[in-house]
Every structure is written in structure tokens, then in C-alpha cells.
Structure 1
């Protein structure tokens, strides 16, 4: 069974009066060799002719997700505490 990949995290919400956690530098893009190694460890078939395309896709997805890590959430409550107002249809 492959070991789960972890990366350092920062708290998205800060406590009142505390300084925000410092931003982490973005991770380096995965190389095709690293991605091939990870695919083998996970037991996923990854033909060499698809390696370049899959590597580009994985790095693009990681860049988009990485951008979300920098969204300042501040004091926004978690989604489960969201209360939706009843919809009002105009006639």
C-alpha cells in the first residue's frame, strides 16, 4: 500500500489578535520521472507515451489548487454553519 503524500499546512483562519501564518512557497512542479515513480508506487499503469501529458495535467491542477491555498478566509465560518435564506421568487 502506498504511503500517503502530505505537505505542510497553514491555518486558514487566524485567532483574533494573532498574526496570520506565513505563506508557504509553492511546491516545485513534479518531473515526469517523479510522477512515473509515484504511479508505480500506487500501482497505477502509466504508459510512457502518456507520461508527458499526465505530468502537465497534474502540474496544472496543482497550480490551481495551490492558488486556493492563498485565499484569505479570515473569520469566515465553516460551510456547515451556513444558513441559507429561503428563496424568494418574484412574480
Structure 2
């Protein structure tokens, strides 16, 4: 089955709601519940340290994890000027 886009409907809608971002960081993951929080934390720290004045979006693109990767990602708190989207990736490997 082919898709017109790798983005799910809710992800595309959320990006439209955000409208504009200066920086977009994509984090691909699969069954990384033990490490995803640290990865998101390092990304948010780096954005805060080097690009605090820019509006940023972090997209966690989950490859269909069977553990709690998405749940851990959703619970992680980010800075007020940052946006976070958790999405299930669909498309070619």
C-alpha cells in the first residue's frame, strides 16, 4: 500500500496549526523507551543553548514501537517556545 505522504493526518494538521518554525528536528525511533527521554532532553538543551531565540519543532517519528517509546516521548516536558509532535512513521524503511 502506498501513501501520498509519510505524515499521518494528525501530524500534518498539527504542523499546519504551528504554521511557522525556524528549526525542525526529527528524531526517528523504534523501541527506545529506555533512551528516548535522554535524546529529547539533549535536543531541547541544544536548541535552548544555541537557538533560544528561534521557534523550534521537535518531531518524534516512531517506527511502530511495541514498547512505551511514544508514551515516554509524550510525557517529556519541553520549553515554552518549542513544539513537540509524536507521530507514527509510515513509509519506506
TM over 0.5: no
Quick check: which has more Rg, 1 or 2?
1
Larger fraction in strand: 2
User: Smaller-chain TM-score range?
Assistant: under 0.3
Structure number with the bigger relative contact order (C-alpha 8 A, sep ≥ 6) is 2
